[in-house]
Amino acid sequence: MSNQPNMEKMLLRVLSVIENKSDSAIDALKRAAQSGDEWAEFSLGMMYLMGNTMGYDKSKEVSSRISKKEYLLPSDWVERVKERGVAEAFRMLGNMYEVGVGVEQDKVKAWDWHLKAAIRGEPRAQNFIGYKYCLGEDVEKSKEYAEKWFKMAAKKNFALSQGNLGNLYSKGIDDKSNGKKAKKWLLRAIAQGNETAMNNLAVMYDNGILVERDPDAVFKWSKKSAKLGSPEGRCTLGTCYHSGIGVKKDHVKAESLYLSASMVGDIHAKYNLALLYFYGDVELQDYKKAYKWILIWEAASGDMDHDIKDVCECRLTKKEMRKAKREADEFILIEKHRKS
């Protein structure tokens, strides 16, 4: 990256071209790029990428394409960039700082650029700001500010924010939960196919705190969520089969769903696997596996369950414990590499 133009300065110059809607400036960039000018090549590439609105999941690919100068510029790329405008570019720059792609990772600058985009009405940036306030990540936690920013994006029909807003209401603001509002926004997100909202609605029906408990609804919505690939949905559906919620108990299906969710990072599924193997029926009870998964869960969550761990250590030989620990360490290492 040291021989590449400064990404932030380059993007800001591109923004100036976009804001001024200067076709002559863009034409000049294109001519310079065709002549081999590095800054112009980067500028055109970034302008195209801004038009494609790639998010976090594409950041490394974007960085690679920029460094290799693999630009696929369609005939309408200028119009697409102008249509997206400055707010989208600000959000993209915020993403770059958030994950450290093309620039040195800087959470403060990531926040600043996302805020600039959010103020200009960009819904994904508004969701980003709301999410940070909701978790208290890189900023002081505030459910009130999270509600404000989620609602801005939700009113623009941004499904992710609708689901986040519904989940926020289900957990409460100022220690007061609101089941009616939670269900309203979750259903709006669900109408757009948001699998996380489906699972959160299933959890609401399972808890029976804000809505009347409904085992059939728990099974229905968790199954829909799992079918769309949600790890949380798979875990909740696994719990349905594990405990017989809205469906006949089937520990084999529960095991399969928990394993599937655990492989893509769901922490609750890891713990549920330990419980399944620890308390399972004759066919599934396996203290070695229970010990392995409680170690994996502890590493992922930072918590401990001495009851399961202590019993397993009493039931297993030292050789069996070493094998279970080795398998747990291998899983943790693979998961760590996958995340990086």
| Domains with residue ranges and CATH for the chain | 1-105+113-118 (no CATH), 121-192 (1.25.40)
Give the residues across from 176 on adjacent strands: 173
Give the residues across from 62 on adjacent strands: none
Given a cut of 70, whether residue 36 has pLDDT beyond it is no
Residue whose structure tokens are 């957990």: 171
- Please state the pTM of the whole predicted model: 0.74
Give the residues across from 173 on adjacent strands: 176
Residue whose structure tokens are 């291998």: 330
- What is the rounded distance in angstroms from the CA atom of residue 299 to the CA atom of residue 335? 11
Given a cut of 60, whether residue 30 has pLDDT beyond it is yes
**CA–CA distance from 323 to each of 291, 315, 316, 326 (Å)?**
10, 14, 11, 5
- What is the rounded distance in angstroms from the CA atom of residue 157 to the CA atom of residue 75? 30
Up-side HSE of residue 1: CA atoms within 13 Å toward CB? Answer: 10
The answer to whether the Cα torsion of 223, 227, 229, 234 is positive or negative is: positive
Between helices 179-191 and 195-207, what is the axis angle to 10°? 150
Q: Please give the pLDDT value at position 88.
A: 75
Summarised one tens digit per residue, pLDDT across range 157-189 is: 999 999 999 999 988 775 566 888 999 999 999
Q: Please give the pLDDT value at position 5.
A: 42
For the chain, first and last CA: distance in Å?
A: 19
